[in-house]
Structure 1
């Protein structure tokens, strides 16, 4: 993906994080631009979840610099990330099965009118948000427990969009989903990019990565082990970087650079 001269939406410079004797992250570099989907991949224990927690303010970095729109900023708690416009959708989704779609979207930020829940306004906003992103639900008044896995995932992502974020972190959004449900979620990721949001997609599924990501950042044992352009990189190259067959392959090759070699 060829970027303009605008600074990245989010940039991590030399980010490190330790938990006791365990060095979870060491000198991590990462950039995400507006309107870009970056896939974060790596084997179990590579540091992917820790990196998401650093960006989300759940586990602040011990060392390094985080930049937002080219300016150094501090993220030391989740509220700091939320104020910037960072929304995180974790793998467990944290949905309330007994509540309907509207209730889940507005859980913790309900709209009141004259001291009473304004159900009409919350439903109106829910329908508007779902329409904006072409998300189809059988009914926004169905309990979430009655929805499919793909529909539940889109509810969780939709909830994160209520605050109009600029960057969305998605932790394994298609895990345990069928083919049709996976396609539904990936279509939503595509729409997030089209609307100019930055997306960090954690995934073990190379098919999903190839389908929606613009670039791939590989972590191995808590360190960067490769940056790749998706359109110009083979499945085998990415897998080799994940498994360690090619160590410290940290050069991102753009489409133009590949074309220049031909």
Structure 2
């Protein structure tokens, strides 16, 4: 449901205000304010149990907050389900990637928006595989992504290639006249150095394309490389919100562990 609120170009791609999340007597999130602008990569950092995953689930519509408001491009919205968040231009890339491993790259990239053949075969649901391969290759070329042939089954790809396919699929769905928001949950978990560099490059290209990215990661070097701002959660509260120019790994680790006092009262 979208409230009647005006939009401005200066409005964040996504803004959360005063977000509370209760599970019975447990307060998982406590008055969280968060925003990300178009073309910005914000690293959402914190130790296990800090509330990062819960906040991502609120952003993606998987959980409805106990209190607080959500705005997309300046319009107040409610996400009763993940599909509502997707419709608003928010794409979540989970750790398990949600790829169909037995199918090829092109089929995975066009999943849910298949190109049907011309009638009468299209009326019967027959897919135009050649058109899908051409569109998929064009999407990857626009993102500057180099991977295997479009006919290669996903189960034959490396971990890094699979991650790139999952990221590219979401990126093509949030690109457009009004860029959307990408939520990335540990995109380099269990990847090697070269594969991590692949993902790192794609995240920066997505930001250059105007896509707002929220990156949850325990990989601090990755966060320092690709992020323009850092938000640190600690036990469900926001401890820090600081631009890259003012941040240091030592300070971030201090906020993550609680050894450094919160920036906020």
TM-score normalised over the length of structure 1: 0.90
Aligned-residue Cα RMSD (Å) equals: 1.6
CA contact (8 A) 1:227 1:250 kept: no
Name which of 133, 137, 144 aligns with 1:123. Answer: 133
Q: Does 2:157 align with 1:157? A: no
Q: Does 2:222 align with 1:208? A: yes
Q: Distance in 1 between matches of 2:264 and 2:151?
A: 48
Alignment of 1:142-221 (within 5 A): 142-165=152-175, 166-221=180-235
**SS at 1:92's partner residue?**
coil
Report how far residue 5 of structure 1 moved: 8.2
CA contact (8 A) 2:70 2:77 kept: yes
Alignment of 1:32-43 (within 5 A): 32-43=36-47
CA 1:5 to 1:106, structure 2 compared with 1: closer, same or farther past 3 Å?
A: closer
**SS at 2:86's partner residue?**
helix
Aligned to 1:90: 94
Aligned to 2:28: 24
Aligned to 1:9: 13
Q: Which sits farther off after the overlay, 213-222 or 112-121?
A: 112-121
Aligned to 1:249: 263
CA contact (8 A) 1:10 1:66 kept: yes
Aligned to 2:3: none
**SS at 2:174's partner residue?**
coil
Name which of 48, 52, 72 aligns with 2:52. Answer: 48
**SS at 1:117's partner residue?**
coil
Q: Distance in 1 between matches of 2:116 and 2:239?
A: 49
Report how far residue 231 of structure 1 moved: 2.6
Q: Distance in 2 between matches of 1:110 and 1:162?
A: 14
**SS at 2:10's partner residue?**
coil
Aligned to 1:135: 145
Aligned to 1:254: none
**SS at 1:61's partner residue?**
coil
Q: Which sits farther off after the overlay, 142-151 or 16-25?
A: 16-25
- List alignment gaps of at least 5 residues for structure 2: 1-7
CA contact (8 A) 1:98 1:145 kept: yes
